[in-house]
A and B are shown apart, each in its own frame.
Chain A
Amino acid sequence: KAGVTQTPRYLIKTRGQQVTLSCSPISGHRSVSWYQQTPGQGLQFLFEYFSETQRNKGNFPGRFSGRQFSNSRSEMNVSTLELGDSALYLCASSLGVTQYFGPGTRLTVL
């Protein structure tokens, strides 16, 4: 089976712009979670989607949003980008207990 894929792998944006990241889960996986990884804050949970519904949400401002489509693919959107949003954004999918991660999208905000 193909693993979790994320696009794009690298992204450079400027402050105030918005960005959309995409995640395709492993075939058959219905849960998709998003995490932000930064050197200062470590790995932090953003949100989880299951069957097109947000099931859990982390402690991030409303500028961070997401959605899931009927084929389980997920997107996350960050509006009005700030310098502090520069991070590696990881997506993970699961069918049961274990989450399997994608390679991440490296976002740089200038």
Chain B
Amino acid sequence: AQTVTQSQPEMSVQEAETVTLSCTYDTSESDYYLFWYKQPPSRQMILVIRQEAYKQQNATENRFSVNFQKAAKSFSLKISDSQLGDAAMYFCAYRSRETSGSRLTFGEGTQLTVNP
């Protein structure tokens, strides 16, 4: 079974600065997907970014980028030029590509505070 670990329960950043959220995972599979989701106070889970394990290039979406280290089983999220609207709970998630289905395994979450 796969596990996902987020070792930082809380993080804070000043507006306009950069912050990195950490995620590690454990799997015996070689083909999978990794995601970062954001959950603001409204509780709506919003996709931030996705990474395919077979791609060596790190995914980027505007101010959000990842550092994917497959051998180390590490998948960190970097938020540049942080904005007040980035304040939320961030979840790292794993999805197998080797078994059928869309099942996501989530980490515990990191609560991000953005200070003005």
Residue of B nearest to A46 (CB): B103
Q: Are A33 and B102 CB-contacts (below 8 A) given A43-B91, A98-B35, A98-B50?
A: yes
By size class, the interface of chain B is: 20 to 34
- Residues on A with C-beta less than 8 A from B103 are 33, 45, 48, 56, 58
A63 on the interface (CB 8 Å rule)? no
User: A103: nearest residue on chain B (CB-CB)?
Assistant: B44
Partner of B44, one of A35, A50, A56, A104: A104
Binding site for A on B (CB under 8 A): 33, 35, 37, 42-47, 50, 91, 95, 100-109
Interface of A, helix, strand, loop or mixed by DSSP: strand
Q: Which residue of A lies closest to B6 (CB)?
A: A42
Given A42-B108, A42-B109, A43-B91, also A94-B44 (CB < 8 A): no
Q: Whole-angstrom distance between the alpha carbons of A39 and B73 in the complex? A: 26
